[in-house]
Amino acid sequence: GAGVSQSPRYKVAKRGQDVALRCDPISGHVSLFWYQQALGQGPEFLTYFQNEAQLDKSGLPSDRFFAERPEGSVSTLKIQRTQQEDSAVYLCASPSYKTSGGATGELFFGEGSRLTVL
Amino acid sequence: AQSVTQPDIHITVSEGASLELRCNYSYGATPYLFWYVQSPGQGLQLLLKYFSGDTLVQGIKGFEAEFKRSQSSFNLRKPSVHWSDAAEYFCAVGKAAGNKLTFGGGTRVLVKP
């Protein structure tokens, strides 16, 4: 696609419920990032994929958070047994690349999935 | 570890006035620096970036930023703000192009008519 697409845009979950958030990155982009943005704060890194390989998951806050990208394109962030502190906007991003190869440094972000846990 | 500080949480500026947003970073090597803007309900949009070379960089929407290594700063400026510049602005640092970014807490800009 032309941009990074995320769904659902809004999700309300009851505490303890499992949720799945989807990211469809820019077509052909091998790298994909997930960020978490709590209300009134800057985005914080969660995890990074290169193709289907999860190369960095150091930002995942607990073992309730799990991300996958099985075919190297669409990625899913899953949160099990949601807690109120999980309420945030979850952003997906992929880097732009020069036509000659190599990243330009810009991350293209999706509009995010806003999760509210009651 | 890298970190970014944006000392001003909110700034209110009159339309037509100049704007400067502060950003200080902590990073052991030459940083890759970015400014992003986030309008309500929208995703983050890159305003400008600095990797090397000229320390004054120009971006979109009339914004510019100056990298000052001695002060570990990368402040964003605009000579004359428009009402449409009301948004939240984030400074970010990375260690390479396409690498993960560390963001500051953001500065919310309000524009008075």
Residues in chain A with CB shorter than 8 Å from the CB of B98 are 31, 95, 97, 102-105, 107
Q: Which of B42, B49, B100 sits opposite A45 (nearest CB)?
A: B100
Q: Which residues contact B67 (CB under 8 A, 6 or more apart)?
A: B33, B50, B55, B56, B57, B73, B74
pLDDT digits (tens, 9 = 90+) for B30-54: 889 999 999 987 889 999 999 888 8
Q: Is B50 part of the contact surface with chain A (CB cutoff 8 Å)?
A: no
pLDDT for A102: 63
Q: Is B102 part of the contact surface with chain A (CB cutoff 8 Å)?
A: yes
Place of tokens 């803007």: B37
Name the DSSP class of A3.
S
A88 DSSP β-pair partners: A115
Is residue B106 within 8 A of residue A41, CB to CB? The reply is: yes
**B12, pLDDT greater than 80:** yes
Give the integer Cα–Cα distance in Å for A84 and A39.
12
Q: Looking at per-residue confidence, does A70 or A100 come out higher?
A: A70
Provide the 10 A C-beta neighbour count for residue A70: 9
Categorize the per-residue pLDDT at A26 as very low, low, confident or very high, splitting at 50, 70 and 90: confident
